[in-house]
């Protein structure tokens, strides 16, 4: 059986609230958003800037719950800065497709809706 990489979690349209060059690398994310998106501390993520087009891989650090904080740390802060809109994506290795968990947040990084359910409502109907 061949292992393939499938999207497992996504936080869509998040806003970077801080960039800290002097912190050891990572992305710090509000713990509430981690729970809602199914992300775990130390999990590898791809961060894609909708603002600049920059893409980078790093790992997750749990931030203060209900803070709305999403901070880029270390060298990554040269690529993505405060105010940029990003998508944060985690992947998993599996032999079959997995059901991903995707959430949408507002400009203050507050949970808006579960995109997993939204996507299901737009899926083509099979006969």
Active-site choice (23, 59, 67, 69):
59
Task: Say whether 26 is catalytic.
Answer: yes
Query: What CA–CA distance (Å, rounded) separates 34 from 13?
Result: 14
E strand intervals along 16-122 = 18-20, 26-30, 44-49, 55-63, 70-73, 85-94, 101-105, 111-114
Out of 9, 26, 49, 77, pick the active-site residue.
26
Please answer whether residues 86 and 22 qualify as being in contact, where contact means their C-beta atoms are separated by less than 8 angstroms.
no
Q: Determine whether 59 is an active site residue.
A: yes
Active site residues: 26, 59
């Amino acid at each position: 059986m061949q292992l393939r990489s499938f999207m497992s979690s996504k936080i869509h349209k998040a806003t970077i609230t801080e960039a800290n060059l002097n912190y050891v690398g990572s992305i710090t994310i509000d713990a509430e958003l981690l729970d809602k998106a199914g992300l775990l501390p130390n999990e590898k993520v791809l961060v894609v800037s909708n603002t600049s087009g920059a893409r980078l891989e790093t790992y997750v650090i749990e931030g203060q719950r209900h803070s709305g904080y999403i901070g880029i740390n270390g060298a990554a802060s040269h690529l993505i800065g405060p105010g940029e809109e990003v998508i944060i994506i985690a992947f998993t290795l599996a032999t079959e497709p997995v059901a991903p968990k995707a959430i949408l947040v507002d400009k203050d990084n507050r949970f808006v809706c579960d995109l997993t359910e939204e996507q299901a409502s737009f899926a083509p109907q099979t006969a």
